[in-house]
Amino acid sequence: KPPQRRNMARSDAQEREAPRMTCASHANLDVSTKSSVHSSLQTDAFSMPRFKEEFNVDVLAKDEESLQFRMVGIDPALANAFRRILIAEVPTMAIEKVHFVNNTSVIQDEVLAHRLGLVPVRADPRLFEFKGTEEDHHEKNTIVLRLKIECTQNGDEVMNKNVYSSSLEWLPGGSAIPADEEQKVIPPFRRSQTEFISDTIRPVHDDILIARLCPGQAIELEAHCVKGIGREHAKWSPVATAWYKLEPEIKMLKPVEGELAEALAGLCPKTFKLVKDGRSKGRQKIELTSAQGDEMELERIRHLSGEEPWEGHFKLQKIKTHFIFTIESTGVMAPEQLFVEAIKVLMNKCDTCERLLLPE
Mean pLDDT for all residues in the chain: 86
* pTM for this prediction: 0.82
Task: Reply yes or no on whether the pLDDT at 29 is more than 70.
Answer: no
- Contact (CB, 8 A) for 338 and 86: yes
For residue range 195-243, what is the model confidence (pLDDT) as tens digits? 999 999 999 999 999 999 999 999 999 999 999 999 999 999 999 999 9
Whether the CA torsion 260, 319, 335, 4 is positive or negative: it is negative
Determine the angle formed by the axes of helices 295-304 and 258-267, rounding to 10 degrees. 150
The more confidently predicted of residues 9 and 264 is 264
Give me the DSSP letters along 283-338: -EEEEE--S---HHHHHHHHHHTTSTTTTTTEEEEEEEEEEEEEEEE-SSS-HHHH
Q: Among 35-39, 47-51, 211-215, 311-315, which is the least confidently predicted range? A: 35-39
SS3 category, 257: strand
Closest Cα to residue 288, out of 257, 327, 252? 252
Closest to 3 measured CA to CA, from 347, 321, 326: 347
Question: Do residues 222 and 137 touch, judged by C-beta distance below 8 A?
Answer: no
The DSSP bridge partners found for residue 148 are 220
> Residue 358, class by beta-carbon neighbours within 10 Å (0-12 exposed, 13-18 middle, 19+ buried)?
exposed
Torsional class of 73: left (φ above 0), alpha (ψ -120 to 50), beta (otherwise): left
Strands 28-29 and 157-159: unpaired
pLDDT number for residue 21: 79
Q: Higher confidence at residue 358 or residue 360?
A: 358
Q: 92 or 2, which is more confident?
A: 92
Res. 106 pLDDT band, cuts 50 70 90: very high
* DSSP states along 191-224: S-GGGT--SPPEES-TT-EEEE--TT-EEEEEEE
Tell me the three state secondary structure of residue 237: coil
**236 alpha-carbon distance from chain centroid:** 13
For residue 174, the 8-state DSSP code is: B
Count CB atoms within 10 A of the CB of residue 5: 11
Q: Is 75 exposed, middle or buried (0-12, 13-18, 19+ CB in 10 A)?
A: buried
Per-residue pLDDT reduced to its tens digit, 172-190: 999 988 766 555 567 789 9
Reply yes or no on whether the pLDDT at 37 is more than 60.
Answer: no
Give the model's pLDDT for residue 179.
67
| Amino acid 2: pLDDT | 44
CA atoms 47, 53, 54, 57: torsion sign: positive
Instruction: Give the span between the Cα atoms of 120 and 234, in whole angstroms.
Output: 11
